[in-house]
Structure 1
Amino acid sequence: MRRVVITGAGTINALGQSVPETLKAMREGRCGIGPLDIRDVDRLTVQIGAQIKDYAETDRFNRQQIALYDRFTQFALIAAEEAIAQSGISFQGELAQRAGVVMGTSGGGLSTQDENYRAVYEEGKNRVHPFVVPKLMNNAAASHVSMQYNLQGPSFTVATACASSNHAMGQAFSMIRSGLADVMVTGGSESMLCFGGVKAWEGLRVMSRDACRPFSATRNGMVQGEGAGMFVFEEYERAKARGAEILAEVAGFAMSSDAADIVMPSKKGAARAIAGALKDGGIATERVGYINAHGTGTAANDKTECAAVADVFGHHANDLMMSSTKSMHGHLIGGTGAVELLACIMALRDGIIAPTIGYEEPDPECALDVVPNEAREAQIEVAMSNAFAFGGLNAVLALTNA
């Protein structure tokens, strides 16, 4: 079983359009949630989101590219460019054939779908652009990343709702560890902040109209975000031999299915995934110092997740730190785990634990150290990232310093 490390990271989200900007915002406990600026926002009950501001696609892409790239694909390409540049890898020759891309997304080209449904049903048009299908398909971002960087190995997209990114990164990790690939570009991207995307989530009645306050007794729901996080996963000996900067080691991964309910989370299913990631990495519970929680800010998720952590870690649950950065960058659905992995890397490398902002009042059912409102300095050995999706699909990653 080969070791796997992270040698590049990239992102664009409501907190920043690069990794340094994002980590600075996390350290400062900055909130990226605000009023939505989208078409027909006045028809929405929920009018807030973690939207990327000061972003113009024409500054990044030419007209031909924009015709092919939905917003979620644009975000993936921007994040991948930063990650691959940091890694210093050029994918040529045999390496290109042993490198691929696994991405997570839930909605894929939802903005493209929304625009074209409007064109056909509202505006009465009988024709749409010939590139609509390749623009909206869920694998579009993964395909364009593979073409942009000559990634000729295993490449595909994972769609498991809010766990998509963690599942994708877990697959990339497994491929390198087993010898199927040497380098993988992996992460997730999502752009659901269009009228149809927000309206659909409104129907679930799990959305907050004012703020995301995970674990606080005053929480009243989740807030959608958008963006992407991308990473370069690499076999350890290869990275070491070329003198690459190693950001962290991916030490363990596990996934589970609740097999219970389509929307309600299960403590047992979540606990199996957390415990499985520890077992996979040979990690004792006492070594874990920080968990980036799924932490959506809904009553069902937060108390279930806290109960699962308490079950797995026992008395040590009172000693570890667990925060939800969704309070800052919102819930990126299929892209959320990728952006949240940055907080785990920051905790390991810099000794800075990102806070749960918006925390107002303790909840007896969430009685863990949720690092309320302000970042904290702490030296940790192991960080974990939780993702628990609708459909009862769970995926947990464990990271250490290499």
Structure 2
Amino acid sequence: MNGELLSLIDAIVRDKGIDREVLIQDIESALASVLKKEVEGKEKEVKVTINRTTGQMTLESDGQTSSSATFSRIDAQKAKQVIMQKIREAERGVIFSEFQGKVGDIVSGTVHRFERGDIIVDLGRAEAILPKAERIPHEEYQQGESIQAYVLDVRKGVKGTEIMLSRSCEQFIRGLVALEVPEINEGIVEMKVIAREAGDRTKIAVFSKDEKVDCLGACVGMRGTRVKNIVRELHGERVDVIRWKEDVKEFITEALQPAKVADIHVDAATQQAVVLVEDDQLSLAIGKRGQNVRLASKLTGWQLEIRSKSQAASVTLPLREVKGVGPTMEARLKEGGIITVEQLAHATVEQLTAIKGIGDKTAVALLEAAKEAWQRAAQPAAQVPQETASTAEPAEPTEPTTPPDTTGSTQATESTEPPDANDPTGSTDPTGSTDP
């Protein structure tokens, strides 16, 4: 048995990557525990030693050492069970350490089986779980199919190491882009922020640390090959790549692409912005079921309200159009969170007097002038259908029935955005497309 045990240990070490010394020590400890139950005087200390070269086992008890013949007292089946248990425990430890170091990485595996909606993925040395909640909606897999996923968590469970995967998280997108774009791993291009609605659309804001490197070109690739590989892995999910801007207005403008922004009014105190677009850009800016403005809001961290120019006269009329409002007063009002004529017209005297430099008489005069200006500006817009969208309560735009895009094209904003089926103008991104 001695030689067989050592051969078994060496084979396990080679196949499983377990540390030889640690495994032998675990087996010694386990055998000593079993022996202690068999020998007389269970309170005695028992120590088992395995010769690392010959596999010879010796028993030390009460200061006396016995040869391996003493092990005839141990039931052979018990010894085998103990040894195999220790081998399994050591293997679990190796697997746990290996995959714990892969948390945050993308791994590849094979769909092994399905359990209550979850997918069990074979990663070679271990099995992982892709929960239903972490799958991309509407994705279907077949047994034996290859799959990539993000390692979300690794923990020790009752049955061994539990590896949790995800394909719906934003980190999965980050990992896929990093695999396709070497400039990211080199630290030249940085992914600043990602906003995603898994299965439908993702927006990625990127920034180049080197003026000579175009961040969009690097991420999109020649003729869109890089971003198309990502879209293919996501089974058709749209991916927009935009430039990250430090200036809030510029960033909001980029985030709302492919729609063209006419003007933006921001309130830094509340992180809200009113975005003006041409009438023919309204549906495109809002997006299907409000998705474009919703993702843009997530990307920028600002609450966005989209309005067409035809309806915005009464809402975003410059404050200077109000009698008594000059540059200084306009600055004071904006500091107090009032950026539109509508807000001023609906303010109270108490709200205005709380702003530094505005007294009771001035407040009353401003309110009267604002209401007059607001009502006057609203007259020509009264006949215009009111269509707005706010990220606080996204409104689904009224869109014409348009046949779905069957070209199978992928897009990245500025370079890969195809015609939006919901854009009543049928316009395309003038900055170019990566589709052949």
Query: TM-score, structure 2 length as denominator?
Result: 0.26
Q: Which has the larger radius of gyration?
A: 2
Greater relative contact order (Cα < 8 A, sep 6+): 1
